[in-house]
Amino acid sequence: MMKLLIEKELNSTDKILKPDFNSKTGRELLVFYLQTKFRQILAYDRRCDAPIFLSVNPAFINRFSKRLINNPSKRLLIGITGESASGKSTICKEIKRNIEQLSMPVSVLSTDNYFNDISKLIAEFGSFDNLRDNGYDVDAPTSFQLDILKKDLILLSEGRDIKAPMYLPNGTGVSLPNAQDIHSQKIIVVEGIATMYEDVQDIFDIKIYVEADNDIRKSRFMARACKERNQSEDNALKHWDYITNAGEKYVKPFRNQADLILNGNADLDYFAEILEYIYAITNNFEQ
């Protein structure tokens, strides 16, 4: 059905003249047009068996519209969060893949790289698992370099490239400073639980929360832990208990502050079609 909407949009002879985006009046016309089309997408999505949009903040459309009109040169920052194994990384990759296919400039940053360096603590306790079992709260806001993350996000939003840290996912707890070159493209997608922490959440233009059924999340998490990371089932279950409690404490409270709540169980092909349709309506003007 979404494919039909895309074809209808592309083949329509009823098009508006391309606005002059350098003028405020032109941007206002574009925003009004996009608001109408976005509401059309939401109306269609609500009729689907497995909708992608579970909830939309009532203030989002007007707030984002004002941002596009009044500050068009600022980079577009999209923050994606959700509990572990909710599907946020998968949706982030799908957004990046589709944007790149449409030849639009995009940068992707994971907030997991802003974990504190805990290599000395791991060496002291013998392993990451021992450190966790002795009370180290890895998902707490204090476990992230939020001051550096905030500074980097502001620089990216201003069009300036950064050198981001890199946290090594090998159990050593090592964080390498200034290890990744991240270019400030027109669209910047940032994913991870730290995107919605209080110190950084207001920097984002679009705040997305990805939600999935707990049984599906657990199945994904266990498969990833045991097959991809070679963890024992007992240790994986212990860590699942930890991240479930941490999610309740640190991630879920920000659900109500998100602009969009997306279905982490939704069909990715359908999600890709929505992204394609958004691109079509944004660029399909009479010249």
Tens of pLDDT, residues 159-200: 999 999 999 988 899 999 999 999 999 889 999 999 999 889
Residues 59-101 have pLDDT tens digits of 998 898 888 888 888 899 999 999 999 999 889 888 888 888 8
Query: What integer best gives the mean pLDDT of the chain?
Result: 88
Confidence (pLDDT) at 23: 85
Distance (Å, whole) CA 264 – CA 84 = 11
Is residue 102 predicted with pLDDT exceeding 80?
no
User: What pLDDT does residue 1 have?
Assistant: 60
Question: Residue 201: which of 86, 81, 91 has the closest Cα?
Answer: 81
Task: Could you list the beta-strand ranges (E) of 20-150.
Answer: 53-56, 76-82, 106-110
The domain 54-265 having CATH identifier 3.40.50.300: the answer here is: yes
d(CA 207, CA 259): 5
Q: What is the pLDDT of residues 126-149, one digit of tens each?
A: 998 899 999 999 999 999 999 999
Q: Is the pTM of this model over 0.85?
A: yes
The pLDDT, as a whole number, for residue 227 is 76
